[in-house]
Structure 1
Amino acid sequence: MVNIINSEHAPAAIGPYVQAVDVGNLLFVSGQLPLDPKTNVMPDDVSAQAKQSLANIKAILAAANCQVANIVKTTIFLADMNDFAAVNSAYEQFFKDNNASFPARSCVQVARIPKDAKVEIEVIAAK
């Protein structure tokens, strides 16, 4: 059975997709832009953008009765690989702050991210 997960504490999807899909043992969270769910505005700084994307992911996980510790795979999309160190620092702190192990991860530079964000992050969580 497939369940659609939505959280009012994360920004609404900006296209024909959902925030996450729960398929029983796995939760697939769509790529999260660094949009503040209350204002729909994103910070300018890439570190702040990474933190916001991760906060959005955490809110979606909570809506699916999961925690950061349930994340088993992340994919980070960067507009500029020169931002890797700043994003990596925010990412590392996020997992430490949530007492979670680091999951498997991919990080790639892409030509462009929706809304000209500097970062977008997606995750897979295991229940």
Structure 2
Amino acid sequence: MKGLSATSVIGLADALIHWQIFFVLCNAVGLDQAAGNFAAFCVAAAFSFYLNVLYLFERETSVFFYLMFIGLMGSVSFGVGAIADVWRLPGLVTVASFSLLNIGSGYCFFRFVLFRGRWT
């Protein structure tokens, strides 16, 4: 249960960082939702990865699998933003829908792929 609760807290912090960066990039800087969502994801994912390694997992991790995850979820973040741009959806819909996808798939990826057998 320790791993699930800690991962949940890190996931929520990741989502808050993502949302803040997304809204700054889209509203203040003027990026479209696809680029803003991708950039916000990259920053939040780096934060999340660092905290997971620092607090939850003891051994070294596979950079290859981490980069695969970043590539896959980065593509998903860009795709969700691109769909929102085409359909002219509000930014809140973009970040909320992507956050749900990211938290669920991120937990599964970190737990069962990247850090399998290393859960403390």
Q: TM-score range by the shorter chain?
A: 0.3 to 0.5
TM-score normalised by the chain length of structure 2: 0.40
- Larger helix fraction of residues: 2
Higher strand share: 1
Instruction: From the CA coordinates, give the structure whose radius of gyration is larger.
Output: 2
TM (norm. structure 1) is 0.39
